[in-house]
């Protein structure tokens, strides 16, 4: 089917296939934990200050989550964001539809290779510093779909993951524990050390 400007749907499918194949080939192994690979880069660029505590307090009390949730773990996230579990106490009650307004990605669900380029793009558009929580077995390793040709065997193949929360799905209490771990990690960030 002709779409316009001489491009047809077959061309678009072929292009999409190439993008996915390139991403697959570059995602043969898991990315390292971000605090390690960022060290050198940040140390090179930022002068030591004494405002770590203030910055970290601000960051850990205003985690803004972007909303690309891909599968069933999402429902546990929805429960967690209800009044019963009260994530407003972490400054997380506002979900962001634009990744440019978000600094936290919670990978609530199975990720297919077809969807992977879009999720990677969303991550790249998020504001720095940013964090990723891999929620559930699918987010960690592909879960029960890990052997499928169509499923990414863990978000850490394409994104640097800070915290892993096991379960299928993890209950809201587990997600809260993971968020608390991330908050502790943020508390320890040092501009001087770059971690
Ligand atoms: S871990 Fe379980 S609940 Fe979560 S997305 Fe995978 S299959 Fe669904």
Listed in order, strand segments (DSSP E) in 10-152 are 65-66, 95-96, 104-108, 131-135
Kindly report which listed range (25-39, 92-106, 112-126, 168-182) carries the lowest average pLDDT score: 25-39
pLDDT score of 69 more than 80: yes
pLDDT at 1: 59
**Helices 172-187 and 52-60, axial angle in degrees (round to 10):** 160
Place of tokens 């194949």: 21
Residue 55: pLDDT band (50, 70, 90) is: confident
Q: Pick 31-187's CATH classification: 3.40.50.1820, 3.30.479.30, 3.30.70.580, 3.40.50.12280.
A: 3.40.50.12280
- What is the radius of gyration, based on Cα positions, of the chain? 18
Of all protein residues, the one whose alpha carbon is nearest to atom 5 of ligand 1 is: 109
Distance 41 CA to ligand 1 centre (A): 35
pTM above 0.85, yes or no: no
Q: For residue 144, give the ligand 1 atom closest to its CA.
A: 7
Q: Which residues line ligand 1 (CB under 6 A)?
A: 71-73, 109-110, 136-138, 143-144, 168-169
Distance 145 CA to ligand 1 centre (A): 9
Share in percent of the chain as helix, strand, coil (round to 5): 45, 10, 40
């Amino acid at each position: 089917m002709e779409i316009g400007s001489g491009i047809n749907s077959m061309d678009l499918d072929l292009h999409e296939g190439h993008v996915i194949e390139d991403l697959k080939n570059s995602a043969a192994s898991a990315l390292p934990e971000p605090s390690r690979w960022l060290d050198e880069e940040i140390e090179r660029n930022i002068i030591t200050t004494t405002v770590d505590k203030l910055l970290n307090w601000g960051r850990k009390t205003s985690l803004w989550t972007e909303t690309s949730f891909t599968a069933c773990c999402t429902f546990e996230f929805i429960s967690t964001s209800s009044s019963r579990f009260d994530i407003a106490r972490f400054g997380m009650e506002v979900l962001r539809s634009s990744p440019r307004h978000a600094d936290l990605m919670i990978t609530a669900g199975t990720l297919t290779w077809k969807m992977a380029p879009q999720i990677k793009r969303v991550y790249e558009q998020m504001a720095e510093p940013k964090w990723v929580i891999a929620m559930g077995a699918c987010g960690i390793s592909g879960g029960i779909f890990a052997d499928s040709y169509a499923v990414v065997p863990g978000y850490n193949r394409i994104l640097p993951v800070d915290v892993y929360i096991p379960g299928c799905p993890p209950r809201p209490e587990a997600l809260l524990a993971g968020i608390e771990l991330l908050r502790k990690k943020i508390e320890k960030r040092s501009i001087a050390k770059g971690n």
